[in-house]
Amino acid sequence: MNRFLVRTNESKDKGFVLTDKIKDFLESNGKIVDVEVMDDEKIYGKEMPITFDDGEKPDAVIVLGGDGTMLRAARDYVDQEIPLLGVNLGTLGYLAEVDQSSVIHSLSKLLAGDFGIEERMMLEGNIIRGSKLIGNTMALNDIAVLKSQPFRAIHFDVYVNGQFLKSYSADGILVSTPTGSTGYNLSAGGPIVEPFADLIVLTPICPHTINSRSIILAAEDEVIIEIKDAKAGGVENAFAMSDGAAHFDIETGDTIVLHKAEKRTRIIKLNKISFLEVLHQKMTD
């Protein structure tokens, strides 16, 4: 690896102390380093395709922040197939594995080639109104369909591979990857899934029934969510979110078509801590 992009979070790395430390270390080892500064508005703001001029595509992106910053980077760079290394500036995360105290040691291992790359499944979602595509998004964790108004459920039908599955009245529904199973899905009562699996998890959010549970589907299945009329008639208003960030307003008659993305997020792994060890730490905190 010769060229690096350091994507830093100004709210997490005050004064860019760690950013400068990483940049100086890499440049002292003869590497080319570009720095991109992110803030919360950019992390959760409108997403645009990222391209690089000839010869300027990085061999890896070093992401400073937490899992939220990593999720945005995953969506931004998956098409470029650039591996990501997460440096955790918050609490223990599932995606950003390098902590501040070991960053130079970790970078030394990276430069020495002592690392592996994990490939994680992603979801792609298309939002269709009538016959028109009004939104497209990617997610490493999940794509959620949620109510817009408090104290009101939304009504929607779910189809799998064109076959009707169930009608729901609920606060919403989550369509999660294995990586996303430990996020919103877990808080909504969904199952924890080993992140290297290939499958899709459907978890209704606060369903107005006593017999709704998560449903596990094959990764190759296509999920369609169709927004129905409001309970008293009229237009139902809701919204879809990708990884808790990208936002799309939806309404009665809209459909959200979700399937496994063709490309996968590539995450650089430098230590031997397993998912189960991280999970154990999380469960005993």
pLDDT at 91: 65
**Can you give the pLDDT at residue 52?**
84
Q: How far apart are CA 146 and CA 246, in angstroms?
A: 13
- Is 144 in the same domain as 231? yes
CA distance linking residue 190 with residue 142, whole number of Å: 12
Question: Sign of torsion, CA 188 192 195 201?
Answer: negative
Per-residue confidence (pLDDT) for residue 246, from 0 to 100: 80
Residue 169 C-beta-side C-alpha neighbours within 13 Å: 10
Work out the percent of the chain whose per-residue pLDDT is above 70: 95
Per the model's pLDDT, the better-predicted residue between 6 and 39 turns out to be 6
Q: Are residues 255 and 134 in the same domain?
A: yes
The pLDDT value recorded for residue 134 is 93
Options 24, 40, 54, 67, the catalytic residue: 67
Residues 114, 128: one domain?
Answer: no
Is the pLDDT at 281 greater than 80? The verdict is no
CATH number at residue 218: 2.60.200.30
Residues 205 and 220 in one domain: yes
44-102 pLDDT, tens digit per residue, is: 666 666 778 878 899 999 999 888 889 999 999 998 999 999 998 876 567 888 888 88
Instruction: Give the model's pLDDT for residue 92.
Output: 58
- Alpha-carbon span 269 to 97, nearest angstrom: 8
- What's the domain range around 192? 123-260
Confidence of residue 229 (pLDDT cuts 50, 70, 90): very high
CATH number of the CATH domain containing 80:
3.40.50.10330
| 20 tagged catalytic | no
pLDDT exceeds cutoff 80 at 272: no
User: Is the pTM value of this prediction over 0.75?
Assistant: yes
